[in-house]
Amino acid sequence: MGFKENKEKALALITSRIAYFNKIYKYKYKKFAIKKQKTIWGSCSKKGNLNFNYKLIFLPTELLDYVIVHELCHLKEFNHSKKYWDLVEKAIPNYKILRKQARRFVIKSH
C-alpha cells in the first residue's frame, strides 16, 4: 500500500496530532501537506509551511508525535539550538530517546 492509499489516513491522523500539540505551543503556520518524501519524515519552511511524510502513520505513535513536535518547534526556532530543544522538551520530555529511535527507522520506498 503506497502513497495514494494512505494519504487520507495520514492527513487525518497528522491533522489531529498537530491540533493536539499546538494547544501547548499555539504557533501559527501557513499550511501543512502530506508528501511522499524519500529521505525525511518532516520539514518546516521559513515561510511557515509544514510537510510530513505519509509513512509516519507506520511509526509507533510516540515517534510520530516526536516528528510533529519537532517540526512545530521549528516555527519558533528555525535551528537546533538549546532553546529549540527546550521547546521540544515541553511536550516530549523523553525526546532524546525518541530522537535516537527515529534515526533507526529508515524510510523504505514501496
Report the CATH number at residue 25.
Answer: 3.30.2010.10
Q: pLDDT of 3-12, one tens digit each?
A: 999 999 999 9
Asked, for residue 12, whether it belongs to a domain, the answer is yes
* Residue range of the domain that includes 49: 3-104
Asked, for residue 110, whether it belongs to a domain, the answer is no
Asked, for residue 109, whether it belongs to a domain, the answer is no
Asked, for residue 59, whether it belongs to a domain, the answer is yes
Asked, for residue 77, whether it belongs to a domain, the answer is yes
Q: Residues 91-105: what's their mean pLDDT? A: 93
Q: pLDDT of 33-78, one tens digit each?
A: 999 999 999 999 999 999 999 999 999 999 999 999 999 999 999 9
Q: Give, as one character, the DSSP assignment of residue 94.
A: T
Number of domains comprising the chain: 1
Residue 103 is predicted with a pLDDT of: 85
Whole-prediction pTM value? 0.93
Asked, for residue 71, whether it belongs to a domain, the answer is yes
pLDDT at 110 exceeding the cut of 50 = no
